Amino acid sequence: MVRVASLKIGVPKEPDLHNSIRVKVLYHILHPEANAAERWIYEAWRDGFVALGHTVEELRLEHNFEVRVRDVTPDLLMTDICVLDLRKHADFLTRMRKRGTKVAIWTHWPLVKSVRHNAEFVVSRDIADVYFGERELDDIAFQRDTGKRYFCIPNAANSKYHYPATTTLRFASDILYIGSRLPHKRWFEENVLQQLVAERRYRTLIIGNNWTTRDQLLRIGRRISIALDLKRLKNAVEARTVKIKAENERHYYSSAKICLNFHEREPDGSQLHYVVNQRTFKIPACGGFQVCDEVPAIRKYFDPSEIVLLPLDKKRWIDTVKYYLEHEDERERIRRNGTARAQRDHLSVYRCKRLLELVAADVGGAGSMPERNSRLC
């Protein structure tokens, strides 16, 4: 059966902010070319801002932090507390804010050991307009420890690339999993993926890194290139680790009968960090039918009629996948509902709009700065 998505294909209607004065965003990402979650998250933010009519520039590892910020003079600086050294840059951030740059700091709280020295600056200094992140429960501890507010802005589908496509044989599968092979997903690999691959009657497609010997060699090559600062080798390795072109990902999800998703977990089944991963939003945005592990926060973003969530129960997973493969009408109803919800609420343009609203409202710092950037208001 060839399915044509019932929703309008293309970037959704842009929020009203598109008609406001254009904003220059400087996004702090050390390795924008790396085939890792931070890249895809960054690109979703970047493409969301661009869809709204704003501009985005990068602050990379090779840049001098303060020189780059001064040269760009952004309206909004998006940085990460895990890559900042506030012992060096706290005073500079304060000066830039006084000059009109708004600062949004991506925050995971409590801080990991390597950047724990930053905590005292967050508590005692007024260095940011917004502290935010994708972790669902960090607000309680952050406010308790710092007296400041943390805002959860969840991951999102990329407004530029993630929308429904017509199903095609080239990308078709019965069961699809797009994702890297990771130790924190071992339960999923051993109890679900291996079992489904063994079912020869199904076409199970797994796409991602670390599944082959070649992948392992590329991973070693990347580590060597970074350690020795071999940029040409690093770029060559990174290019070979990307398994799907950005413009093709939606075709895989739209053409699969069932798309699987799983979050990183500890051996006891608990979540390593309480995050709803980006794939949760990408799959339905692209027109895919999603079966995912049970993460309570997902219920904030999708109703039971829009997604299938399962506990860590091997039999439940296998039986559920087989059931929906055999019941197309039920599968199609959930798929349509999930796609409508994702396109309506969970594209990166809406996350960008949310961040700009928070920054303009001066909600995050210990106090208001003397000057306010009218371009963000």
pLDDT of res. 104: 98
Q: Is the pLDDT of residue 190 over 60?
A: yes
> What is the per-residue DSSP string for 106-155?
E--SSPPGGGGGGHHHHHH----SEEEESBTTHHHHHHHHHSS-EEE---
Q: Is the pLDDT of residue 7 over 60?
A: no
Range with the poorest average pLDDT among 32-36, 71-75, 96-100, 290-294: 32-36
Q: Is the pLDDT of residue 5 over 50?
A: no
What is the DSSP pairing of strand 130-133 with strand 102-106?
parallel
Q: Choose which CATH entry (1.40.20.10, 3.40.50.2000, 3.40.1210.10, 1.10.490.10) describes domain 169-208+245-345.
A: 3.40.50.2000
pLDDT of res. 84: 95
pLDDT of res. 179: 94
Residue 17: pLDDT band by 50, 70, 90 thresholds?
very low
Cα(first)–Cα(last) distance of the chain, in Å?
49
The Cα–Cα gap between 309 and 320 comes to 10
Question: How many angstroms separate the Cα of 92 from the Cα of each of 49, 102, 116, 147, 375?
Answer: 25, 13, 19, 22, 21
> What is the per-residue DSSP string for 170-186?
GG-EEEEEES---GGGH
The Cα–Cα gap between 301 and 309 comes to 13
CATH superfamily of 16-157+348-370: Response regulator (3.40.50.2300)
pLDDT of res. 369: 35
Locate 376 and state its tokens: 């963000």
Q: Is the pLDDT of residue 256 over 80?
A: yes
Listed residue (11, 3, 10, 7) closest to 339, CA to CA: 7
* pTM more than 0.85: yes
More confident residue, 142 or 369: 142
Q: Write the pLDDT tens digit of every residue in 149-171.
A: 999 999 999 999 999 999 999 99
Residue 41 in contact with residue 157, Cβ under 8 Å? no
Listed in sequence order, the residues at least 6 apart from 313 whose beta carbon sits closer than 8 Å to its beta carbon are none
Mean residue pLDDT of the chain comes to 88
Q: Write the pLDDT tens digit of every residue in 140-149.
A: 999 999 999 9
Q: Is the pLDDT of residue 220 over 90?
A: no
pLDDT of res. 363: 63
pLDDT of res. 245: 87
Q: Is the pLDDT of residue 359 over 80?
A: yes
* Phi/psi-derived region of residue 210, left when phi > 0, alpha when psi is between -120 and 50, beta in every other case: left
Chain centre to alpha carbon of residue 144: 26
pLDDT of res. 347: 98
Q: Is the pLDDT of residue 203 over 60?
A: yes
pLDDT of res. 210: 78
